[in-house]
Amino acid sequence: MRDFLDRRTLLRSAALTGIALTGAALGAGPAFGVTAPSIASCAAWGARPPADPLTVLPHKPVRILVHHTDTPNSTDYSQAHAYALARSIQNHHMDDNHWSDTGQHFTNTRGGILMEGRHNSLPTLRGGTQIVRAAHCPGQNDIAIGIENEGNYMTAQPPAKLWNSLVDLCAYVCSQYSISPNAIQGHRDYLATDCPGDVLYKMLPQLRKDVARKLGG
């Protein structure tokens, strides 16, 4: 992850125009017909407090950006591994990138464990009217929900558990914010980067279809 994230911060921006709850977890519950997936809060995985006050913006996001962490494709699908991953990401983003907090709004592991990334991402998602300013993609941090998926998907296929939890999270985000599944895009659509990996990027049309199906469309 460290090598990937360092590289990411050095890449030139190629942004295109146009096209953040304490407590243990967000439990399942209906949201406009979509069941809210379980999402571990920052408090649950042991996050550090943000280095600076975070900004909550009074508008909805307009899209979802899919990322990969470019970390090893671990076969440890445990909660302990997931929480350690979240702490590692936050430490790197704060200590090396000098960001206020974890850059992305949410993290999804190979074991299908969903976690809040940046503080306040859960309550704003539940409220459905605001977004926490993030740091996952220049030009998109005020208007796009960033989801990091554990692993490297340049040549490898994402495991079923990761895929299923990604579909569940995207469907919930779309439902809460009235975002079209067609507005699910990849990091590389807005920055000169290989993220979210060639394989996962090519799967985005299927992700849009799976999310639309879950939304009843």
| Confidence (pTM) | 0.86
Q: Which residues of the chain have pLDDT under 70?
A: 1-33, 217
Q: How does strand 34-35 pair with strand 39-40?
A: unpaired
pLDDT of residue 29: 37
- Long-range CB pairs of 198-205 (<8 Å, 24+ gap) are 198/153, 198/154, 198/155, 199/153, 199/154, 199/155, 199/156, 199/157, 199/158, 200/66, 200/68, 200/149, 200/153, 200/158, 201/66, 201/153, 203/158, 203/163, 204/66
Secondary structure of residue 126 in the 3-state scheme: helix
pLDDT of residue 140: 98
The overall longest dimension of the chain from CA atoms, in Å, is: 43
Contacts of 206 (CB under 8 A, 6+ apart): none
- Both tokens of residue 175? 């439902």
Contacts of 21 (CB under 8 A, 6+ apart): 41, 116, 120, 122, 123, 126
Closest of 153, 108, 135 to residue 54, by C-alpha: 135
Q: What confidence tens digit (pLDDT) does each residue in 14-58 have?
A: 333 233 322 333 333 334 468 899 999 999 999 999 999 999 999
pLDDT of residue 33: 67
Secondary structure of residue 68 in the 3-state scheme: strand
Rounded Cα–Cα distance for residues 13 and 137 (Å): 9
Sign of CA dihedral 121, 122, 123, 129: positive
Rounded Cα–Cα distance for residues 198 and 216 (Å): 28
Rounded Cα–Cα distance for residues 212 and 60 (Å): 19
